[in-house]
Chains A and B, each alone.
Chain A
Amino acid sequence: MSVETPLIRTTITERFGEAIDDLGFAHGVHAFAAPPDMIVELCRFLKEHPALRFNFLSDICGVDHYPEMPRYETVYHLYSLPNKLRVRIKCRLADPPRVPSVTGIWRTANWHEREAWDMYGIRFEGHPDLRRIYMWEGFEGFPQRKDFPLRGYKDKLNPFGAEGTPPTQPDLATKNIP
């Protein structure tokens, strides 16, 4: 949790103006909404601004708001180690979801984005190595989407699964893991 301070809001509005919405101070963390094409610029600004210095990327989550449109969302949680500030950046994405990758800014985003790809199918452009991280090689489908059944689809090893076939993704690139 960070102390409620207008510092983050004023620095962001003075640089980006109306493009970044302020979502208020929910659950002890300031939240902002950004469009996907401005994410990289906003994150680099937040990391390098001398008064903010958000040099620690805590988490990148994917969210699926199934009946609502735009359906997907990525949420970035940033923490500033020198200044002890937290901020949350939300980014609504259309279907199919594409967003530029922030691995160039924080190296840890590599695995967080792989998790969002594996679970939701959110494609991060510019990611050096986008492949599955939790599910096994050859798994089809994105499990955390709202339309994926909890029990999985019925196959040879899963007799309690739902009927039907999982949605196949032709660009499901799983490289040979040595």
Chain B
Amino acid sequence: MGGVNNAIRDSVLFTTAESVINWSRKSALWPETFGIACCAIEMISAGCARYDLDRFGVVFRPSPRQSDVMIIAGTVTRKFAPVVRRLYDQMPEPRWVIAMGTCAISGGVYNTYAVVQGAETFVPVDVHVPGCPPRPEALMHGFLLLQEKIKKSRALAGTPLGRVAAS
């Protein structure tokens, strides 16, 4: 049964469709402007003139309903974690998360009672960008890694057509 599934799913129709869909998704990654702490400044400067993010198709959107990727930039405290989770929940699929900075990856230098030790404990993270704060070029590298990840992923994974192909 597995062999038959892959034969349909790997046929030229679906792989071409997936490569086109993946290309369109990775070329227009719209992040939700979600800067919490100091990493937000580096995110802002990455989006500004010198380290331009707009050339990758990255346009910052004010609302989670219109965005593809959430950049968690800064220290997430335990009081704020439910808000971050709710904003992640309100993003439509397909959605990705970039954890920017060591505080978002693992709590950073703050191993205290009030800081969540890593955003990965409550949202699934796709790309970690280390640094305190990471340079704008590092954030750009993170976006390029996310684009590679999207290129290799299955675009029709949760869709009705994908379910038809997999059944």
Contacts and interface: CB of A to CB of B under 8 A. Distances in A.
Contact between chain A and chain B defined by CB under 8 Å:
yes
Interface size range of chain B in the complex: 10 to 19
B109 to A, nearest CB: 12
A158 interface: yes
A135 B79 contact: yes
From DSSP, what is the main secondary structure of chain A's interface residues? loop
B11 interface: no
Given A158-B117, A159-B117, A136 B79 contact: yes
Given A136-B79, A157-B78, A151 B114 contact: no
A136 B83 CA distance: 12
Contacts of B111: 150-151, 160
B78 A153 contact: no
A157 B121 contact: yes
A158 B113 contact: yes
B112 interface: yes
A152 B112 contact: yes
B119 to A, nearest CB: 12
A36 interface: no
A161 B121 contact: no
A148 interface: yes
